[in-house]
Amino acid sequence: MTAQILDGKHVAELTEAELAQRVEALKERSGGRTPVLATILVGDDPASATYVKMKGNACRRVGMESVAIELPASTKTNDLLREIEQLNAKPDVHGILLQHPVPSQIDERACFDMIALEKDVDGVTCLGFGRMAMGEPAYGCATPQGIMRLLAHYNIEIEGRHAVVVGRSPILGKPMAMMMLAANATVTICHSRTRDLETLVRQADVIVGAVGRPEFICADWIKDGAVVVDAGYHPGGVGDIELGPLADRVSAMTPVPGGVGPMTINTLIQQTVQSGERALV
């Protein structure tokens, strides 16, 4: 068995072509206005700055506009809350992205939750998570939503299968589990402190690595024919799952890099276009 490669870079490129057409059509209907994504970067972390730059580049590729707001590392919670509040009030801003992580003195959750629901295109607010989990309209967290889109593109069956999500972060593991559940999978949520994790992983028809530790999930824990989704990325180009030995054992797998990562940014852009369409038409 040779694993089908779930190529997120390819799917993102296809989607960008379609989004560019939607943005152009929106400009024609709205007198030249386009969706606008506002990005907020607090501090000077090089990795975060790179991610923000990549998101701005993705906006430009589909004809959208982006506004980059850079704040010093000394920024306090109230300063950031005011910045977000001002963006909420601007009708020409359709999506707001607060780059994670923020400096330790900032209450990140309070700042995430200041983002207006209709502009929460990264899917990070408690309100958005709650609505998504209850089956109500909301933008999904970008990484798990991107994973669901990637699986759908390759016609990977979810319904009735046992999905094991290893990771419980509020913007990845938890929403991933809720999305899988909504797709009629039977879901087990595990984490780094789960006892006998190997036994649980062996039961997975679909395994999602979202624990944030390099190659934490061993290849020999994963059964033949499983679908493997690795949402991690670490120095050296490895993810959360030991992928190398799986290429000729599992039915499908995401590469690292080039699998989940491109879908995260692509989903953010797609949801900003959706927000712009709702606001400008």
Tally of domains within the chain:
2
CATH code, domain with 99:
3.40.50.10860
- Annotated catalytic residue 122: yes
Tokens of 14: 């296809």
CATH code, domain with 152:
3.40.50.720
- Annotated catalytic residue 271: no
Q: Which of these is catalytic: 55, 119, 230, 270?
A: 55
Residues 217 and 198 sit within 8 Å (Cβ to Cβ): no
pLDDT per position in the chain (281 positions), as tens? 799 999 999 999 999 999 999 999 999 999 999 999 999 999 999 989 999 999 999 999 999 999 999 999 999 999 999 999 999 999 999 999 999 999 999 999 999 999 999 999 999 999 999 999 999 999 999 999 999 999 999 999 999 999 999 999 999 999 999 999 999 999 999 999 999 999 999 999 999 999 999 999 999 999 999 999 999 999 999 999 999 999 999 999 999 999 999 999 999 999 999 999 999 87
Taking the CB of residue 89, how many other CB atoms lie within 10 A of it?
9
pTM: 0.96
Q: Which of these is catalytic: 7, 119, 120, 122?
A: 122
Q: Which of these is catalytic: 99, 145, 270, 271?
A: 99
Q: Which domain holds residue 77?
A: 31-116
Residue 275 lies in a domain: no
- Annotated catalytic residue 4: no
Taking the CB of residue 88, how many other CB atoms lie within 10 A of it?
16
Q: Is 238 helix (H, G, I), strand (E, B) or coil?
A: strand
Taking the CB of residue 145, how many other CB atoms lie within 10 A of it?
24
User: Domain ends where: 68, 101, 116?
Assistant: 116
Q: Considering only CA atoms, give the Rg of the chain.
A: 19
Residue 272 to residue 40: CA distance in whole angstroms: 15
